[in-house]
A and B are shown apart, each in its own frame.
Chain A
Amino acid sequence: MSTATDTQRKAPAGERVADWADGRLGIYSLAKANMRKIFPDHWSFMLGEIALYSFIIIILTGVYLTLFFEPSMSEVVYHGSYEPMQGIRMSAAYASTLDISFDVRGGLLVRQIHHWAALIFLAGMFVHMMRVFFTGAFRKPREINWLFGFLLFVLGMFTGFTGYSLPDDLLSGTGVRFTQGAILSMPIVGTYISMFLFGGEFPGHDFVGRFYSIHILLLPGIMLGLLVAHLILVFYHKHTQFAGPGRTNKNVVGMPLMPVYMAKAGGFFFLVFGIIAIIAAIATINPIWNIGPYRPDQVSTGAQPDWYMGFAEGLIRVMPGWEINLWGHTLVLGVFIPLMAFGLVLGIIAVYPFVESWITGDKREHHILDRPRNAPTRTAFGVAWITEYVVVFIGGANDLWATHFHLSLNAISWFVRIFIFVGPVIAFVVTRRICLGLQRRDKEKVLHGRESGIIKRLPHGEFVEIHEPLGPEQLHTLTAHEQYKPVEIGPTVDENGVERKVSALQKLRARLSKGYFGENNQIAKPTAEEYKEITSGHGHH
């Protein structure tokens, strides 16, 4: 690198540019520290990249859309090129969205890329979050980054919501009305917040302009900041890796950022952009021209939000319409309880890392990922959470389930009402059983080898299958995980007979810890002695 001392030779152009920049920006030390940063290879580590790239695509296409969109609720009469809307009164926002779709060059494609990318952005974040959850990548030192990621997901939901509300079409207007209803259900403050947000009675003339500022400036600005912080922390913490030979808690085994990951990540960006563009070119999304302009007196069946809000829709749809009338005030439990449940279900997943570290009492750093089966209780909890999410999701589309599967709408609602409570419990139990079964199989494989499929007949007539011993790499991978001991309260009475006070919290913690790591809640992994004894030739069975 230090060939620059050779003054006789004229340095190549790239080097001169780098030199020029280093003299002014001091990028050399920064580059030196980061360009050789190692990243481990696994496809599931690229799920976050899908989210990152779709976010970039959303920003790029969003900027184009702002050039033509008119965030105004002033009333206009449509005279554009879409015939079925001729002469209809609508807001300027809706009319300009029709213009973007039919009269702006490339407008419809860009709109569709923007919207498809938004759905994929949220889906990408969701699966990325699940990857982090099930591999235990949220453990120390990454709890804060988990929260950043969670915030990105929630803010992404609301950015999406404010975005699809902008065209002021009948579907999104119904969604805004739904949101206003949820706001109104809040005791005491609801009406004030609603009046403040909409500048008076719903719908008023302000919300499109306000949502526009929130959608293009406030929320994306916060998200961009969080995203940068998220990535800085990934660099700072270094990437996690799965257990394997040569991989420890103190190293990262993989390929360097420059040039391998630069090429891979850069290429992957174009692949993501390409796939989203293809989808946007072949499939319609949010055909607002079919939906019509918003009017509070009109509504359509099949009025659902985009998928990431489907969870909220489901909660409202299956909730019985309870309300309490007291002293001239109404508490609409039919909407307020779903609103609380919405925050609760999302909140649980956000605080999980802190709960788990409290239960395990583990304050060490973890850079080696867990295989989901080796953390059965966590995995079962995660699957239960997803089950809850999916069950509510079914409720959000109960009408389409009814028409497409020839079922009764009411039966589906009752199914959801019951399975909101029962589903996660069943999922928890079943998942844990499966995880423990897989742990047993791992143990079996370590001790007795892999089933070879070769059947041998012994002299006395017995048939046995030959098991091939695993190689050292596989043995290491299957036994690398560590197993915790449950937290014990210890004797509550000391040698002098003095009773020690044990708080209810401590008792709870001990019980939860037993649930995580107690006798029947994990399969003791094979020890070296066991392995030696079996492989030394005494009795193959």
Chain B
Amino acid sequence: MKKLSARRRHPLAAVVVLLLALAATGGLYAAFAPASKAQADETAQSLAIDEGKKLYSVGCASCHGTGGQGTTDGPSLVGVGSAAVDFQVGTGRMPAQQPGAQVPKKKVIYSQAQIDQLAAYVASLGAGPITPNKSQVSPDGADIAKGGDLFRSNCAQCHNFTGEGGALSNGKYAPSLEGVDPKHIYEAMQTGPQSMPSFPDTTMPEQQKRDIIAYIQTVNSGQSENPGGLKLGGLGPVSEGLFAWVFGLGALIAVAIWVAAHTAKAKKS
């Protein structure tokens, strides 16, 4: 020990310590780092990331920063995962048209292949929710009734009983779920876009998400049955009241005017 402590003030000591520390870190990393993904996939994946980065630089970087670190105009994308990209870009919400209370759904401007490349790039920035595959979002074999119960417990307070949508504060809103791709519903629950809370698998397992998707598909899609006739927007008593006043009372008053106008007349001689 005496030799070491004697040379501790040697001009090169700091350099030696630094080298040793670097070697230790590097060695440890090499030993413990997760094995890289399937070797065969690597080139395709890195290609997608490269392409995605190019798309990102053109379409996203102005708000989210050149490295996805976020700016004052847009949040950081580190750790949002590919599911968030697939939802936001796949529903046309991103790229955003203008700042405002909420970014609305609009025409999708990227192809699914481009969206996947963007997703791959953003996913490479940090681990996050992964885009689900077809079987994960399929409503086949799911419990519709359970889904309805879960929907009323977790979703209806913003999205209405059957997912017709509803208002939030200051111009924000919960959008209608009618005709939304099951994949996007799943991703929204997984990532919690905009005002929506997220429901990761730890709080809502995959099976429950599929139940909810199955419920929405049953009660609010193009194929949904409406046993009572016209659903009047599915908005409840407000649209019913409007209908009763305009068409119900309106028709009855029109008939009353007609009846009153056709009165018995004295015979003309």
Contact = CB atoms under 8 A, between A and B. Distances in A.
A352 interface: no
A535 interface: no
By CB atoms of chain A within 10 A, which of B144, B174, B256 has the most?
B256
B236 interface: yes
B256 A287 contact: no
B157 to A, nearest CB: 5
B260 A46 contact: yes
Interface stretch (B12-20, B63-71, B192-200, B241-249): B241-249
B244 A271 contact: no
Given A47-B253, A102-B227, A268-B256, A403 B166 contact: yes
Interface in A351-387: none
Contacts of B241: 119, 306-307, 310
Contacts of B148: 84-85, 88, 292
Given A49-B256, A300-B152, A304-B236, A123 B248 contact: yes
A41 B219 CA distance: 49
Nearest to A119: B244
Given A292-B149, A302-B236, A402 B231 contact: no
A285 B242 CA distance: 12
A492 interface: no
Given A120-B249, A171-B161, A85 B145 contact: yes
A50 B173 contact: no
Nearest to A409: B167
A195 to B, nearest CB: 28
A292 B163 CA distance: 13
Interface of B is mostly: helix
A163 to B, nearest CB: 13
Nearest to A83: B144
A297 B226 CA distance: 27
A307 B256 contact: no
A312 interface: no
Contact of A289 (B164, B227, B245): B227
A260 B263 contact: yes
Interface stretch (A147-155, A185-193, A276-284): A276-284
B264 interface: yes
A407 B169 CA distance: 10
Interface in A89-121: 101-102, 108, 112, 116, 119-120
A119 to B, nearest CB: 4
B99 interface: no
Contacts of B149: 88, 292
Nearest to A43: B260
A406 to B, nearest CB: 8
A144 interface: no
Question: Of residues A116, A119, A407, which shows the largest number of chain B Cβ atoms within 10 Å of its Cβ?
Answer: A119
B34 interface: no
B216 to A, nearest CB: 11
Contact of B248 (A102, A264, A271, A275): A275
Given A300-B152, A302-B166, A283 B243 contact: yes
B230 A284 contact: yes
B53 interface: no
Contacts of A231: none
A386 to B, nearest CB: 13
A232 interface: no
Contacts, number: 207
Interface string B240-269: 111111011101110111011101100000
A320 interface: no
A310 B235 CA distance: 14
Interface string B43-77: 00000000000000000000000000000000000
B215 A84 contact: yes
Contacts of B98: none
A5 interface: no
A409 B238 contact: no
Contact of B158 (A292, A301, A305): A301
B256 A285 contact: no
A43 B253 contact: yes
Given A298-B156, A400-B235, A291 B161 contact: yes
Nearest to A301: B166
B204 interface: no
A290 B252 CA distance: 29
A145 B227 CA distance: 42
A292 B157 CA distance: 13
Interface string A289-330: 111100101111111111100100000000000000000000
A233 B148 CA distance: 53
B153 interface: yes
A170 interface: yes
B157 A300 contact: yes
B159 interface: yes
A318 B117 CA distance: 48
A447 interface: no
A359 B237 CA distance: 40
Interface in B133-189: 144-146, 148-149, 152-153, 156-162, 164-171, 173-174
A42 B260 contact: yes
Contacts of A306: 237, 240-241
B229 interface: yes
B235 A292 contact: no
B153 A290 contact: no
B41 to A, nearest CB: 41
B222 to A, nearest CB: 16
B160 A300 contact: yes
Contacts of A442: none
A43 B257 contact: yes
Given A275-B248, A400-B167, 18 more contacts: A43-B256, A84-B145, A102-B227, A123-B249, A170-B156, A283-B243, A289-B227, A297-B153, A301-B160, A303-B236, A306-B237, A307-B242, A397-B238, A399-B166, A403-B167, A406-B171, A410-B169, A411-B171
16 contacts: A42-B260, A50-B249, A86-B145, A123-B245, A255-B263, A268-B255, A287-B226, A290-B161, A298-B153, A300-B161, A307-B245, A310-B241, A403-B173, A408-B101, A408-B169, A411-B171
The 9 nearest A-B residue pairs measured at CB: A307-B241, A284-B228, A301-B166, A119-B244, A399-B167, A43-B260, A402-B167, A300-B156, A408-B171
Interface of B: 101, 144-146, 148-149, 152-153, 156-162, 164-171, 173-174, 215, 218-219, 226-232, 234-245, 247-249, 251-253, 255-257, 259-261, 263-264
Interface of A: 41-43, 45-47, 49-50, 83-88, 101-102, 108, 112, 116, 119-120, 123-124, 127, 170-171, 255, 260, 264, 267-268, 271-272, 275-276, 279, 281-287, 289-292, 295, 297-307, 310, 396-400, 402-403, 406-411
